[in-house]
Amino acid sequence: MTELTASESAFLSKAEAFLQFKVKPKLEQFYSKQKTCSDLLSDAAKVGLLRLEVPVELGGLGASFICKVELAKMLASADFGVAMSLINTHNVVAQISNLEKGPSRSSYLGQLMSGRFSACTAITEPGAGSDVAAIQTFAVAHEGGWLLSGTKSWIVNARDARFMVVYAQTKLGAGVKGIAAFLIDAEDANFVRLTPEGQGPIPTMGVGSFALSNYQCSSDQMILEPGLAFKEMMISINAARIYVAAMCCGMVEDCIEVVRNYGNDRHAFGMPLNQHQGWRWTIANARVELAAATALVAQAAKLIDCGGDAQILAAKAKIFATQMASRQVAELMHKMGAEGLSTDQPFARHLLAAQAASLVDGSTEILLERISRGV
């Protein structure tokens, strides 16, 4: 990808330093203590990561989507969970900065851009994932505002986020047309954070659940009205599919680098592993597939920056990149012998992350369905 501006390149250099000096040294601690990466927020804020797509006039960097995609790839090369967590907080910041009406933007933006709190976007529920129209979180009109009740699950950052964009049904039987989005604050007695077992295989991502029981919202907390909310959600999800694909590329790039170094040092049958032709071919193959995925991601990202309809390209990029990562991370892991399974190595983390990537923001099957309808 070549269309970065000088200030975007400078931002990415700072993000690279953040990754090397602030993220990588803490990863082991996050995983051994099953901790979210929320204590990276203030350092992430300092490099501008939490205001990347916020307009310059609101204190943001006004960066392009291609820049975000490069950032996603870079962060995920270290850890998919860190990348997802920080970018999901940023997404809420960017969404608030684009609101034409609604709750006072500046107080939310101040608290989020400074890294004081994390944020999340909550669509999925225990009974509804791919089938968004089936969500059972309801918003009932009440005294000029709304009462929200329901449970959200498998939400990135929900373990400790302060602010949430919650999608809820406003009209029984209306399907996606009745869904609206609300900006809520977890500091409320009618908000209950749930931490069900099993949602933490990638602790850095802070995946969690919460329940709302007659949670009172003022009318301006409805930030996207019925009719508009689903359309806007799909626009964001299309973009997310592209940066998730880029994250998969970042993870494979990391594995190639680790395997390449290992092949120089590890000897078998009197020579370094990388002198065995059969051993080297796996790396060559990974490079070929990585190049193809990277090209698809670049094409789709460019289309977003040009304001084009990237639905199909985003779906293709995500399907190919997630499948490529599942395949190649496993192949590359194997080239390390038993060492590939060591928790000191990134393979097991990246492998699990590739699986998660194939579900978040539209599962592979849902994307295949989208493409096949076009056919």
Ligand X SMILES: Cc1cc2nc3c(=O)[nH]c(=O)nc-3n(C[C@H](O)[C@H](O)[C@H](O)COP(=O)(O)OP(=O)(O)OC[C@H]3O[C@@H](n4cnc5c(N)ncnc54)[C@H](O)[C@@H]3O)c2cc1C
Binding site for ligand X (CB under 6 A): 88, 120-124, 129-130, 154-156, 205, 207, 356, 359-360, 363, 365-366, 369
Q: In whole angstroms, what is the distance from residue 261 CA to residue 78 CA? A: 16
User: In terms of CB distance, is 38 or 124 closer to ligand X?
Assistant: 124
- Compute the least distance from the CB of residue 271 to ligand X, in Å: 41
- Compute the least distance from the CB of residue 70 to ligand X, in Å: 22
Element (H, E) at 26: helix 24-32
Q: In whole angstroms, what is the distance from residue 358 CA to residue 368 CA? A: 12
User: In terms of CB distance, is 330 or 359 closer to ligand X?
Assistant: 359
Checking 344-348 for CB contacts under 8 A at 24+ apart, the result is 345/258, 346/251, 346/254, 346/255, 346/258, 347/255, 347/258
Structure token digits, residue 85? 């967590």
What would you report as the CA-atom Rg of the chain, rounded to the nearest whole angstrom?
Answer: 21
Element (H, E) at 332: helix 311-334
**Whether 159 contacts 204, CB under 8 Å:** no
User: In terms of CB distance, is 159 or 335 closer to ligand X?
Assistant: 159
User: In terms of CB distance, is 282 or 363 closer to ligand X?
Assistant: 363
The position carrying tokens 């579900």 is 359
User: In terms of CB distance, is 243 or 262 closer to ligand X?
Assistant: 243
- Compute the least distance from the CB of residue 134 to ligand X, in Å: 9
Q: In whole angstroms, what is the distance from residue 231 CA to residue 229 CA? A: 6
- Compute the least distance from the CB of residue 356 to ligand X, in Å: 4
Element (H, E) at 181: strand 179-185
**Whether 103 contacts 221, CB under 8 Å:** yes
- Compute the least distance from the CB of residue 156 to ligand X, in Å: 4
- Compute the least distance from the CB of residue 201 to ligand X, in Å: 8
User: In terms of CB distance, is 103 or 129 closer to ligand X?
Assistant: 129
